Amino acid sequence: MSCNDLPWILGPTDEAKAEYRKIIAATTDAIVESFHDELAYVGPSPAKLKALVRTETLLPDHGLGFEAVMEKLKCDVLPNVLRTWSTDYMPHLHSPALLESIAAELVIATFNQSMDSWDQGPVATEIEVEVIRHLCSLYSFGPEGDGVFTSGGSQSNLCALTAARDWYCNEHLHHDVKRHGLPQNYRKFRLYTSAISHFSMEKSAHLLGLGYDAVVKVPVDDHCKMDSAALRALVEADSRAGSIPFCVVATIGTTDFGSIDDVAAISSICEEYGMWLHADAAYGSGVRLSEKYGGRLGDLGLCDSITVDFHKMFLLPISCSAVLVKDARSLDVFMIHADYLNREEDEEDGYTNLVGKSIQTTRRFDALKVWISFLVRGKDGFEELIDTCIGNASYLYGRLLEDDAFEVTVEPEISSVVFRLAGSDDLNKAVRRALLHRHGVVVGQTVHQGRTCLKFTLLNPTLTHEKLDGLLELIKELGGQLQIAP
């Protein structure tokens, strides 16, 4: 039988079901048999990897069949995959995936629902609506709140800033951007965010037609939090000079340091100057599930919109994010009707078409991952995971303070620790490379006050204090070896 005679699409026949089971079982076996150690990366350097995956043709005249390709996957791909579950992996806000959420991914891919219209995902639509309702309550938005799942924090931020721009133009300038495009004075628009906020601020400003120049970077204090006094002074000076401050973005967990801007102080400045307040809580949103540390976020209910990323602290697979808005009407910026997709009469008859809240059309059923994992683990289950990660960061910071071989930067509020091995920038860079290629350990690198630093982004709750102690010893050892190398 040629491979093209086999059932390739799941259906109600016994043959199709058997083939589905076989393919999933073979894939599961290949995955679990592909690793024998704890290391994060055991693959080769970029050049060797490039050569390994180079292929004459990706579209052979005749298909090779699933089994042959699975062998190739086992040989060329799986041994070289980065293992996000490894306790040696900590460079970015990139987490291991909870087991039950991988089951959710299988359901998502198998049924391939799309979130744009009710008739492409009936129960999926109702579940997303319900998950969003609970999230609004979790983040202190009232019943007027709403939201939508997105591809990630960058898209959530873009959606929120689109809503902010259009709200400002409608409310203050009586100008409808959706219909007429940007107002004439658009070059004067200003968006305020801390000097160390995520680059999706600039990307969004560009896409919104305002440009990078519209983004005003507010200095941060010694704890890497936005300096609220500096924000007020900048907004005041810009207003006097004829600019149009329309929005502030507070970062609730900066990418490198996890530092949390003071929402209450920023909110009162926004009130005073009639600006929108967005919370980029892509990183920090997970902390909300911790009784012990949740208060560190401040009252996010003061914000007009919030970015929540589930593929960071919540440990769900990529992609999984939501943007929440305090007033459901803010999402009308994305509403447009089409006869072929989301007729107005559908809504009148009780069929919800979520496409009217999103910049995407076809969209994944990512809400299922939140639905499954929240129910499986409950608040106490998530709390334990999140408290462990935050506790690990504070333990590591304490160890670094005690050891003269290291220099610390900012005390962690969440789960990231940025520090340096005492010595040159080049030494710190060389140590990071050696950790990756000699020891299979992947740590982050960034810059603080002009100096190259190492970064441990601790999102893996299985990481132990002993492991952290061992890594610090290894870094010191490598530092000694690399310093004496010619």
Q: List residues near ligand PLP by CB under 6 A.
A: 93, 152-154, 157, 198, 200, 251, 255, 280, 282-283, 309, 321
Closer residue to ligand PLP (CB): 166 or 309? 309
Closer residue to ligand PLP (CB): 285 or 392? 285
Closer residue to ligand PLP (CB): 98 or 281? 281
Q: How far is the CB of 157 from ligand PLP (least distance, A)?
A: 6
Q: Which two tokens stand for residue 96?
A: 């291991």
Closer residue to ligand PLP (CB): 183 or 412? 412
Closer residue to ligand PLP (CB): 128 or 280? 280
Residue-wise burial string across 315-350, b where 16 or more C-beta atoms lie within 10 A, e elsewhere: bbbbbbbbbbbbbbebbebbeeeeeebbeeebeeee
Q: How far is the CB of 198 from ligand PLP (least distance, A)?
A: 4
Closer residue to ligand PLP (CB): 115 or 478? 115
Q: How far is the CB of 383 from ligand PLP (least distance, A)?
A: 22
What is the rounded distance in angstroms from the CA atom of residue 411 to the CA atom of residue 358?
38
Place of tokens 């041994």: 79
What is the rounded distance in angstroms from the CA atom of residue 36 to the CA atom of residue 111?
32
Q: How far is the CB of 323 from ligand PLP (least distance, A)?
A: 11
Q: How far is the CB of 154 from ligand PLP (least distance, A)?
A: 3
Q: How would you list the strands of the sheet with 89-90, edge to edge? A: 89-90, 442-448, 451-457, 416-421, 406-408
Q: Which two tokens stand for residue 113?
A: 């629902």
Report the interhelical angle of 367-402 vs 122-138 (nearest 10°): 40
What is the rounded distance in angstroms from the CA atom of residue 252 to the CA atom of residue 442?
25
Output the residue with the shortest Cβ distance to ligand PLP: 153
* CA of residue 297 relative to chain centroid, distance: 17
User: Within a 10 A sphere around the Cβ of 306, how many other Cβ atoms?
Assistant: 32
Q: How far is the CB of 9 from ligand PLP (least distance, A)?
A: 32
> Residue 205: which H helix or E strand, with range?
helix 200-207
Residues 6+ apart with CB under 8 A from 348: none
Closer residue to ligand PLP (CB): 147 or 440? 147
> Residue 417: which H helix or E strand, with range?
strand 416-421
What is the rounded distance in angstroms from the CA atom of residue 264 to the CA atom of residue 301?
10
Q: How far is the CB of 16 from ligand PLP (least distance, A)?
A: 36
Closer residue to ligand PLP (CB): 163 or 434? 163
* CA of residue 86 relative to chain centroid, distance: 19
Q: How far is the CB of 17 from ligand PLP (least distance, A)?
A: 36
Q: How far is the CB of 176 from ligand PLP (least distance, A)?
A: 29
Q: How far is the CB of 140 from ligand PLP (least distance, A)?
A: 20
Give the count of alpha carbons within 13 A of 187, CB side only.
1
Q: How far is the CB of 149 from ligand PLP (least distance, A)?
A: 12
Residue ranges with strand state E in 111-202: 146-150, 189-194
What φ, ψ does residue 353 adopt, rounded to 5°?
-115, 105
Closer residue to ligand PLP (CB): 252 or 368? 252
What φ, ψ does residue 377 adopt, rounded to 5°?
-95, -30
Phi-psi region of 9 (alpha: psi -120 to 50; beta: other; left: phi over 0): beta
What is the rounded distance in angstroms from the CA atom of residue 55 to the CA atom of residue 57?
5
Q: How far is the CB of 223 from ligand PLP (least distance, A)?
A: 16
Closer residue to ligand PLP (CB): 132 or 169? 132
C-alpha closest to that of 456 among 87, 11, 52: 87
Q: Which two tokens stand for residue 273?
A: 């100057």
For strands 451-457 and 416-421, give the pairing: antiparallel
Closer residue to ligand PLP (CB): 183 or 258? 258
What is the rounded distance in angstroms from the CA atom of residue 288 to the CA atom of residue 298?
10
